[in-house]
Amino acid sequence: MPARGNSATKQSQPGDAVLDALHKVCDTARAATGADTVAGVPARYVAAPTSTEQAAELLGAAAQHDLAVVARGAGTKLDWGQPPTRLDLVVDTTALTGVVDHAAGDLVCVVRAGTPVSELQDRLAGADQQLALDSPLPGATIGGTVAVSTSGPRRLLYGTMRDLLIGITFVRADGVVAKSGGHVVKNVAGYDFGKLLTGSYGTLGLITEVVVRLHPLPAARRVVTVRTSDAAAAFTAAAAVTASQLVPAAVELDQEGTDPGTVTALLEGIENGVDGRARAAGELLRAYGQVEVTTDLPDGFADLPFEPGGTGLKVTSSMTGVADVLTTARALSERTRLRVRGSAAGVLHVGVPAGTDPARVADVVTRLRGTASASGGSVTVHTAPPDVRAAVDVWGPVPGLDLMRRLKDELDPGHRLSPGRFVGGI
Amino acid sequence: MAGTAALAARLRARLGDAAVLTDRAQLRTYECDGLAHYKVTPAVVVLPRTTADVAAAVRACQDAGVPFVARGSGTGLSGGALPHAEGVLIVLSQMRTIHAVDPGDQRAVLDPGVINLQVSKAAAPHGYYYAPDPSSQQICSIGGNVAENSGGAHCLKYGFTTNHVTGLELVTPDGDVVRLGGRAPDAPGYDLLGAFVGSEGTLGVATEVTVRLTRAPETVRTLLAAFPSTDEAGGAVSAIIGAGVVPAAIEMMDALAIEAAEAAVQCGYPEGAGAVLVVELDGPAPEVEAQFTEVERHCHDNAAFEIRIAADEAQRALFWKGRKSAFAAVGRISPDYIVQDGVIPRTALPEVLRRIAELSGDTGVRVANVFHAGDGNLHPLVLFDDAVPGQAEAAEKVSGAILDLCIEHGGSITGEHGVGMDKAKFMPRMFTDDDLDTMQMLRCAFDPQRLSNPGKVFPTPRLCGERPGRHKGPHPLQQAGLAEVF
């Protein structure tokens, strides 16, 4: 199917038959405005369904009119990935909200996609429970978090969205509602579409409801920080805590430019437990620099090191490969000051300053990609100004791409869901 | 069978004579997996040694339009590795190399035929282990674990196979070799790895598996608590979880299961117990000690009349021996039995156990209950004597009714044994036609000819390329498969 251009001439007109059709199934349907662009691409319509059923009718109508559809929650990651190659309808999920069921005794929660993660966490905290996942982007919805699969420091202990998601309801491109998984943590019946939709950037279906497993909120925490004296020490210090029996919930590395790095270990548990573990962690880390123990998380503990207008990368590697990524980033920082933050689990985020020449950013990406791939890792460009985005390979090499394309063709044969946003032009 | 002979000849030319079996007597060794009442003799068995061998075998099947089924150690309990009568059984037990154990990366790289327990043994000198521990871990293979997304007693805290596999090399149903993930997390693109794990052999054959290794805990404490009945034991489980304690495992056995275990392995559980709990905590010492005291208190508060604390590894092993031998032990008190595998929300445990007892009372079919209480995964053992006419059917009915109870309470028809051949017919009770059609889309993306383990998991697969809703009735291939079974 040929890609259609997006120009001002496509803007909807009064008496628009398509808008009427959308309005008929979803009364919030309206013409898009300049505020509804996705990564710079204008939309024609916006609609905010309030239920899975309404979302299904909406996508059914979109299918009838061959509309290209992008889902939007809080819009915190709307410019990640590639811009859509065409766009007609933005499905706004922010009216699809609320906790459907919090089965506290079962440590399970059913929540609609548009619910802000912070709102969900507040609700769960009332029962001393949590979704054990950091939200690096304030305001993000649970649906967007699943669709892009963001994670933070505590992934080291709790895993990521894919590990916490136990059931999902979504609307296919043809308007059919499908679900997989269920409401129990242990369940191997049928294929796990929750995993496929997690991190799929809206290209396989519109997520309307998810079921997540919960964890108890820890009663106490300690944060052990060491400012390492030199570069190599940061990795060695992080590896020492990670390999200990202290069960850290997070081991984070921070490296700014060519400065010596900081390692932060988070210990969660009960009051008289975390004290002893913090002491033991301090003992381990003392060899690498000045150790500090606090009870509060540092400000912006889960934040991404991306600056407005800059380029934000996700660099993965094996756990030992983290050392090489840090070294490469430090070497590149001789010319371009990079901010590196991330987990000893093998996921580092790298911020390239705003205003960096696109060719230089492309060089940074290539160099980091070379290092990351040596240990089986990858580099993905999350945020970037348009000129940089045009100069870099956003996704890099993707093993299994042929199978991914075949999956996309099965679920969305018209390539109407978030077209072009994902790997290999999917 | 001319087609089969030509296929066998092609396989021999590529894999060598010793790796291809067509002799009827030899083939019969492989006629069933752990679910022994389904038996199908495969047309050909191949014993590949390398990924290239597997790819060659799959490609040969693809060219000939012949179905293939992968098999590890054959311990599966849902008939997932049941052969296809006209098909090739690919037995991975010759591929047993542990390629790497790397504590720095917390990963091991394994051949699919590597035995689960061997991974932990290889990692132990480094202070690591492989967390998923199905009861069959002394014999089951990693490839089989991947296919089934195997669980185990300690999955309550540590998660299932899917949470511990970070990389796969697989042979697609087209015969292509594809790598997904590896030592690094979060590979870009769709999480096909996540979809493959637990797909029960219907999306291809895993030929190399990279797993996460878990640091051995500083402390492990285990207790055995005896209760008057399952009601009180269930109450204790809810109280423990409700208090924010996440034990490594909480296992429950009822009176009949205890009786069987005593008869088989003399585990010496407290006399007169209507139910026992085995609770294990692990982690840093101060946390484990504090939470252990809490667990003891919740057991007392819920009328536990005896609590034993494992003083050493030998005693811990004895506590577990009763639990881990329970399935086989039931053979001591009943000539035949069905191992059921269903899941309910943990809080529904007392209610569902009462309903199972009623069901048993009404039908006269005895049911022994053994389960992973922490995550609501029931393993009712439905007892019968095949020599008595009508008993097998009655047991089958009770077993099915238990699954209905699970679904009624918002649970699942399988927590860890898989759907396989055995439970395909129950899938429509848990999923709508649209759900199942959507799952078929994944199947069609991987296996448009549907040659990879056909007839499993799905009751009525649609033809690939066919739009949903048009296909009615069982597929001819499946019919052929079923005709061989019964």
Q: Does A187 touch chain B (CB under 8 A)?
A: yes
Contact present, B339 and B420 (Cβ < 8 Å) = no
CA-based nearest distance B26→chain A, Å:
32
- Chain A neighbors of B372, CB-CB under 8 A: 186
> In what helix (H) or strand (E) does residue A322 lie, and over which residues does it extend?
helix A321-332
Q: Does A380 touch chain B (CB under 8 A)?
A: yes
Q: Does A107 touch chain B (CB under 8 A)?
A: yes
Residue B363 exposure: Cα atoms within 13 Å on the Cβ side: 24
- The residue assigned the tokens 């057991």 is B299
Query: Would B218-328 and B334-420 be classified into the same CATH topology?
Result: yes
**A220-294 topology per CATH:** Alpha-Beta Plaits (3.30.70)
Query: Would A1-217+398-426 and A220-294 be classified into the same CATH topology?
Result: no
Residue A281: alpha-carbon gap to chain centroid? 30
Adjacent-strand bridge partners of B69: B89
CA-based nearest distance A34→chain B, Å:
30
The reply to whether residue A407 touches residue B107, judged by beta carbons under 8 angstroms, is no
**B2-94 topology per CATH:** 3.30.43
CA-based nearest distance B130→chain A, Å:
15
CA dihedral of residues A199, A201, A206, A208 (deg, nearest 10): 50
The architecture (CATH level 2) of B218-328 comes to 2-Layer Sandwich (3.30)
CA-based nearest distance A15→chain B, Å:
34
CATH class of the structural domain B98-215: alpha beta
Residue A266: alpha-carbon gap to chain centroid? 21
- Chain B neighbors of A196, CB-CB under 8 A: 190-192, 194-195, 442
Q: Does A347 touch chain B (CB under 8 A)?
A: yes
Q: Which of B321, B215, B242, B229 is nearest to B275 (CA)?
A: B229
> In what helix (H) or strand (E) does residue B300 lie, and over which residues does it extend?
helix B285-301
**A217 to chain B: nearest residue by CA?**
B244
How far apart (Å, rounded) are the C-alpha atoms in residues A18 and A33?
16
A208 phi/psi in degrees, rounded to 5: -115, -25
Among the four given CATH numbers 3.30.479.10, 3.60.21.10, 2.40.40.20, 3.30.465.10, the one describing domain A1-217+398-426: 3.30.465.10
CA-based nearest distance A192→chain B, Å:
5
pLDDT (0 to 100) of residue B463: 74
Question: Quick one: tokens of A39?
Answer: 């990564």
- Chain A neighbors of B419, CB-CB under 8 A: 188-190
pLDDT (0 to 100) of residue A113: 98
Query: Does the CA dihedral B85-B86-B90-B91 come out positive or negative?
Result: positive
Distant-in-sequence, close-in-space partners of A335: CB < 8 Å, separation ≥ 6: A360
Q: What is the pLDDT along chain B (486 residues), one digit of tens a residue?
A: 568 899 999 999 999 999 999 999 999 999 999 998 899 999 999 999 999 999 999 999 999 999 999 999 999 999 999 999 999 999 999 999 999 999 999 999 999 999 999 999 999 999 999 999 998 999 999 999 999 999 988 999 999 999 999 999 999 999 999 999 999 999 999 999 999 999 999 999 999 999 999 999 999 999 999 999 999 999 999 999 989 899 999 999 999 999 999 998 888 999 999 999 999 999 999 899 999 999 999 999 999 999 999 999 999 999 998 888 888 888 889 999 999 999 999 999 989 999 999 999 999 999 999 989 999 999 999 999 999 999 999 999 999 999 999 999 999 999 999 999 999 999 999 999 999 999 999 999 999 999 999 999 999 767 787 654 433 344 333 343 333 322
Angle at A245 between CA A242 and CA A251, to 5 degrees: 25
**B378 to chain A: nearest residue by CA?**
A186
Tell me which residue in A106, A318, A377 faces B345 most closely, judged by beta carbons: A106
Distant-in-sequence, close-in-space partners of B409: CB < 8 Å, separation ≥ 6: B344, B345, B348, B351, B352
Q: Which of B76, B209, B195 is nearest to B443 (CA)?
A: B195
Three-class SS state of A41 = strand
Decide the pairing of beta strands A45-47 and A89-92: parallel
Q: Does A162 touch chain B (CB under 8 A)?
A: yes
Q: Where are the domains of chain A?
A: 1-217+398-426, 220-294, 311-391
The reply to whether residue B186 touches residue A423, judged by beta carbons under 8 angstroms, is no
CA-based nearest distance A407→chain B, Å:
5
B237 CB neighbour count, 10 Å cutoff: 27
Tell me which residue in B106, B197, B468 faces A319 most closely, judged by beta carbons: B106
- The residue assigned the tokens 């950013």 is A361
Domain A311-391 has CATH 3.30.9.10: no
**B173 to chain A: nearest residue by CA?**
A403
Tell me which residue in B414, B427, B435 faces A178 most closely, judged by beta carbons: B435
The reply to whether residue B431 touches residue A179, judged by beta carbons under 8 angstroms, is yes
HEC-encoded secondary structure of A50-75: CCHHHHHHHHHHHHHCCCCEEEECCC
pTM: 0.95
Distant-in-sequence, close-in-space partners of B313: CB < 8 Å, separation ≥ 6: none
**B334-420 topology per CATH:** Alpha-Beta Plaits (3.30.70)
- A176 exposed, middle or buried (CB, 10 Å; 0-12, 13-18, 19+)? buried
**B413 to chain A: nearest residue by CA?**
A189
Q: Where are the domains of chain B?
A: 2-94, 98-215, 218-328, 334-420, 424-485
Contact present, B113 and B93 (Cβ < 8 Å) = yes
The reply to whether residue B162 touches residue A192, judged by beta carbons under 8 angstroms, is yes
The reply to whether residue A192 touches residue B416, judged by beta carbons under 8 angstroms, is no
Residue-wise over B310-348: b if at least 16 C-beta within 10 A, else e?
beeeeebebbbbbbbbbbebbeebbebbbbbbbbbbbbb
The reply to whether residue B187 touches residue A162, judged by beta carbons under 8 angstroms, is no
Interface mutation vs chain A, best among B129, B162, B412, most A CBs within 10 Å = B412
Contact present, A206 and A91 (Cβ < 8 Å) = yes
Look at phi and psi of residue A181 and say left if phi exceeds 0, alpha if psi is from -120 to 50, else beta: left
Query: Does the CA dihedral A183-A187-A190-A191 come out positive or negative?
Result: positive
Residues 240-279 of A with CB under 8 A from B: 242-247, 269-270, 272-273, 276-277
Low-confidence ranges of chain A (pLDDT < 50): 1-10
B88 phi/psi in degrees, rounded to 5: -105, 130
Tell me which residue in A187, A400, A409 faces B343 most closely, judged by beta carbons: A187
Measured CA distances, B417 to A190, A219, B162, B242 (Å): 12, 36, 14, 27
Residues 26-55 of A with CB under 8 A from B: none
Residue-wise over B72-106: b if at least 16 C-beta within 10 A, else e?
bbbbbbbbbbbbbebbbbbbbbbbbebeebbbebb
Q: How many CB pairs under 8 A join A and B?
A: 269
B303 phi/psi in degrees, rounded to 5: 70, 25
Which of the 8 DSSP states describes residue B330? G
What amino acid is encoded at A118 in this protein? S
